[in-house]
Amino acid sequence: SGQKVCYGDFKNSCYKLAYFQDLSRRVGFQEARQACEIDGGALLSLDSEAEQQLIENMLQNLTKSGSGISDGDFWIGLWRSGDGLATSRACPDLYQWADGSISPFRNWYTDEPSCGSEACVVMYHQPTANPGLGGPYLYQWNDDRCNMKH
């Protein structure tokens, strides 16, 4: 399930947001990726600041809809395969988009990506969390363990 919204001015003309308050319905990165593919799409790849802003607006509208949304990050289609150089300075350059696109756009939270065992990326959505060094945990990106449920 999810909310599908279409636009005509971005490479990915339709977007589908899926948010589950029920923690038991949240899934890991590969499950989310497969669910998107089964639905004929792909996990979100972001090409620009403008597209990032569009997604932020969509999430804000979803929050305002009265659905009682609480903290819960969203998987996006950025991930790092393998772990050979995970702790090196090259680590941030090893992230790639799951759909094969080559956009260099990134919106990392301060001190991210932390790399190590965290190879899959979420867009923060933690409106009730106290702000950290990079400000509120809203819409910036964080690498996380791929088996975490979002």
pLDDT value of residue 8: 63
pLDDT value of residue 14: 85
Task: Provide the CB-side half-sphere exposure for 4 (13 A, CA).
Answer: 9
Dump pLDDT digits (tens) for 92-126: 889 999 999 989 999 999 999 998 899 999 999 99
Q: Which residue has the tokens 């690498």?
A: 143
Dump pLDDT digits (tens) for 42-54: 999 999 999 999 9
* Distances, alpha carbon 141 to alpha carbons 23, 71, 121, in Å: 21, 15, 7
| DSSP symbols for 44-98 | ----SHHHHHHHHHHHHHHHHTTS---S--EEEEEEE---TTTTSTTGGGGEEET
pLDDT value of residue 87: 57
pTM equals 0.88
CATH fold for the domain made of 2-144: Mannose-Binding Protein A; Chain A (3.10.100)
d(CA 131, CA 97): 28
Q: Break the chain into its structural domains and give their ranges.
A: 2-144
Amino acid at 53: Q
Q: What average pLDDT does this structure show over 80-95? A: 73
The pair of three-digit structure tokens given for residue 150, joined into one six-digit string: 């979002």
